[in-house]
Structure 1
């Protein structure tokens, strides 16, 4: 298969070449595949399976797999039958030296990600193909897992017709020969170029450039080369480094000029040509520039837009419906078993109790003084295991809307639209919502905590605008309502939509300076209460007063995007997570 010279491989051809690299060097860990379920994604999985070792095991890994099924544990039936501990192998042991397909990787919890990462770091590691179906760029596979999968492949733009148009690919025999040739491939100048490219893209880990070097050597082995060339270096940068970029590389004009005593600078001043070189291989600096330019061109469009807007590439595992975890819950999701006595609502975990007692069977039987044979397993009090559950606290999103005259003249309609979208998202997550409006001389609780979306929209639509900005009174009213909800076990998130320009004091008198001082004092008290908060600046050009209030409150500061209420709704959801 040709490597990317001119023009570079794109789409399905590039994805198929990535599958060949995984087969040549399983030490790449595998791939993070972004694609919806469908024939294109299945075709990629079939390509990988057709290229790896024929005898290698191939298993599916459910995102909700239990630790026992993943890591192995005691075979209870065999243990009870024999009277001695009999262990069975988990799924990770079954795919050792093979491949595992993690479906719905975006739903994998941190525990599963940590165990898969441990398996990838260990000897005889399997190949993991993590399937990411998330459409939100801020959600996706856990970072601990994604960082250990060298190749990040996006198949969302590959059409079904592209599969036949790409031509023939690498076969299993070619991949096997390349695997045998891989130890003899030299890296050349690729290590330096890939490391400098990773630094320019803001990648703060040494693992990506090392994996990029492995990908470059695997690509060279596929070509039958003894040393990595610039084509394989560029390919590795596109597949490994570009999707991990956290910043855009600086332009050449941003760099400091060369010092006066630089011979290259003197030649430019005298308009002399650089000395000719007999070797057509590009210099290390030139190779770095080529690699960096190729990586920049390969940055996904959505990621490029985020980086140009100054938004870092960091996936925050937002989970909208999850409040704070309650301890000692008697209901909810199972959270394992622990030693204890049943009673008072605590339920005995029979299987876990038998597993705890089984290893002691032979030793306890030796202590029996009767002649008749006893049971294979003797259960004692210290073997009792009690079921534990993880229950999430109910979430309350409290919207505090500025309806003063300054906002009514500008963006009150936009603020109402953003709140309506956030209310709809809260309704989908079955969260409670509350609404406080402030204008004139004080703040009013228009809607106490409720799940009724209809009531919330009705109160919001009837919200008038005009008057002063009693921000201190609004913060105190929000703190009181949040305190009461927290005492009832709810996790509270406060969303303030305001420009922060307070001009009415608590007692209803005017005075901008005194009103701002009271608002800052109230914000610091709310900060001490520990509630999560977000300040949405609804002014047209951004208000410094809103930034000051956000700092005093230790809240996240964002500006209301012009005409894009959906973006604000996503920000509020992340703040509530």
Structure 2
């Protein structure tokens, strides 16, 4: 452990350190999600925790990390072995891991040597009773997220494949780090993290200097640096062990439990898991502090870790907790019954004041409220690119196995089919190259949804910009659910701007659209030219593009001096059509006098054209016919 930065030497990040220690005291809390910018000690803190955890008892050589009183069914090592004190398992789950590596699979060596079916444990077995660490967890492929959700819910990993039927315990503390710029987590996995911490680099120059000083000292002499912090590490390990022993004796009375439920209701938390985790976290805080009674202060600290990421109602609502309101609710709960009415009145006044303040911050064109998010389907499958859920992809490296085909140079061996081919020849089981089979998987890939938004002055008429923003936000919801990448081009005045370069963070796209001003002329050719340039810089094989253009088509700013802006726009649309880019045009024109320019532009693009009114229909499910090569 001497090569790991000492947990006690981490500068600042008090909330992060507390959250990690709470999960060490009570692993059933469910783990920690650490969100923050690059270079904020997220990974350092997660890895350092393992070095201060009290040891666990296990039999040396056991691949399932069985508890002495609960041996896994397929484990033979623990039958005759003697448990010894061992370090808590710390297992890293790589983003590119296969399902076989995570879940476990057929032991090929045993099968080839004697023909017996034996189980090769995976990463989930290794992480049992320990920490499962995922760096950049928001980039984890969907098929692995599904695996984690199933195992986290049951605490058991069940493997049914290649003729095997195995189950073993898999209870672990999930620790994940992520940078929000790379996109958010699926709500189901987000809720599985018991606690969430937002981290940021310190703003105090003395604190930043101390961070650098310690890091440089560690890199120069890791062993010597660790030795200087040995006493602090041992003291922390002893504190965690004492808290683990004290935890069963910590009391949380009914009044405090009622307050937990009250907080979850007041903060509009849908998941009942929040109440349970808040209960466990409050008790762990008391145990960590050496107390047997939970206090309101414990509950306040716990709420800051448990509730923020469970308050999200829509993909674009940022997690957070109103600290003043939390304090008010706790203060009201502490008041005698005869004063409760007055406290409620004060709270109501404050809430009314907050609501009034929100109305005062008027935006010229806020997004109009709309109904259910429209769904856009891409009709034909594309070559497999980034993992997603919109386009069907053939020959995907991940996904459901649909068949096995003979292949002497497979990239993904179909073990069952390969062994069956060898067995059919009879005699000794010998696998030759002629027996090898390729596993064919059916998956889905993401798209790059390129939104091109008309923000010219004509969009201000009859509040069309409000409707347009509402429509784009609905489409962004669809992109969020399909795990697409998005980019936003806005055009107004004398030119076009790449408001957001291609990214998986639809939150950033939503923020940019909400703040997008309206006014000026309509430089439509500039926007289409910028779209072409953006697509040239994008790998269409990795991210098949889908263009969504929202405009009334009234181009009046040319690219060339003296040029015709409308003819330029049509010519550029034909160039996009020649690139076989699937597209959708949303006609924002309304009123009695309509020029129909958007429909003409859609014809040049080879795209479908819808009005804003049609797009806002709750039942809309539009299929875009792809024009990709080979479709």
Query: Shared fold (TM-score greater than 0.5)?
Result: yes
Q: Return the offset for 1:135.
A: 3.2
Q: Return the offset for 1:415.
A: 2.6
Partner of 1:275: none
- When normalised by structure 1's length, the TM-score is 0.57
Match of 1:376 among 406, 425, 429: 429
Pair 1:88-2:141 in alignment:
no
Pair 1:339-2:339 in alignment:
no
In the superposition, relative to structure 1, how do residues 419 and 193 fare at CA in structure 2: closer, same or farther (>3 Å)? farther
Partner of 2:36: 35
Partner of 2:200: 156
1:403, 1:464 within 8 Å by CA — same for their partners in 2? no
Q: Return the offset for 1:187.
A: 1.7
Q: Return the offset for 1:340.
A: 4.5
Partner of 1:225: 291
CA distance in 1, matches of 2:502, 2:583: 16
2:191, 2:309 within 8 Å by CA — same for their partners in 1? no
In the superposition, relative to structure 1, how do residues 445 and 237 fare at CA in structure 2: closer, same or farther (>3 Å)? closer
Match of 1:462 among 559, 562, 565: 559
1:334, 1:387 within 8 Å by CA — same for their partners in 2? no
CA distance in 1, matches of 2:22, 2:609: 45
Match of 2:189 among 120, 135, 145: 145
Q: Secondary structure at the match of 2:242?
A: helix
Partner of 1:183: 248
In the superposition, relative to structure 1, how do residues 161 and 282 fare at CA in structure 2: closer, same or farther (>3 Å)? farther
In the superposition, relative to structure 1, how do residues 446 and 28 fare at CA in structure 2: closer, same or farther (>3 Å)? closer
Q: Secondary structure at the match of 1:96?
A: coil
Pair 1:245-2:311 in alignment:
yes
CA distance in 1, matches of 2:609, 2:112: 51
In the superposition, relative to structure 1, how do residues 129 and 445 fare at CA in structure 2: closer, same or farther (>3 Å)? closer
- When normalised by structure 2's length, the TM-score is 0.53
Q: Secondary structure at the match of 1:239?
A: helix
Partner of 1:573: none
Q: Return the offset for 1:235.
A: 1.1
Q: Secondary structure at the match of 1:186?
A: coil
Partner of 1:207: 273
Q: Secondary structure at the match of 1:452?
A: helix
CA distance in 1, matches of 2:54, 2:608: 54
In the superposition, relative to structure 1, how do residues 82 and 152 fare at CA in structure 2: closer, same or farther (>3 Å)? same
CA distance in 2, matches of 1:404, 1:37: 39
1:34, 1:133 within 8 Å by CA — same for their partners in 2? yes
Higher Rg of the two aligned structures = 1
Pair 1:420-2:505 in alignment:
no
1:83, 1:377 within 8 Å by CA — same for their partners in 2? no
CA deviations over 1:275-311 (Å, ceiling 9, x no partner): xxxx99977997xx99xx9xx9xxxxxxx99x99999
In the superposition, relative to structure 1, how do residues 27 and 424 fare at CA in structure 2: closer, same or farther (>3 Å)? closer
Q: Return the offset for 1:97.
A: 0.4
In the superposition, relative to structure 1, how do residues 173 and 251 fare at CA in structure 2: closer, same or farther (>3 Å)? closer
Q: Return the offset for 1:201.
A: 1.4
Q: Return the offset for 1:549.
A: 6.2
Partner of 1:132: 178
Q: Secondary structure at the match of 2:180?
A: coil
1:398, 1:494 within 8 Å by CA — same for their partners in 2? no
Partner of 2:546: none
CA distance in 2, matches of 1:141, 1:113: 10
Pair 1:172-2:237 in alignment:
yes
CA distance in 2, matches of 1:321, 1:550: 27
Partner of 2:26: 25
Q: Return the offset for 1:142.
A: 2.9
Partner of 1:52: 53
2:497, 2:527 within 8 Å by CA — same for their partners in 1? no
Q: Return the offset for 1:179.
A: 1.2
Gaps of 5+ in 1: 1-9, 253-278, 297-303, 313-318, 369-373, 427-439, 509-518, 534-545, 557-577
Pair 1:64-2:154 in alignment:
no
Q: Return the offset for 1:417.
A: 7.7
In the superposition, relative to structure 1, how do residues 459 and 180 fare at CA in structure 2: closer, same or farther (>3 Å)? farther
In the superposition, relative to structure 1, how do residues 444 and 241 fare at CA in structure 2: closer, same or farther (>3 Å)? closer
CA distance in 2, matches of 1:454, 1:375: 56
Gaps of 5+ in 2: 1-10, 56-86, 156-169, 215-230, 314-320, 326-332, 351-357, 370-384, 466-488, 504-520, 538-554, 622-631
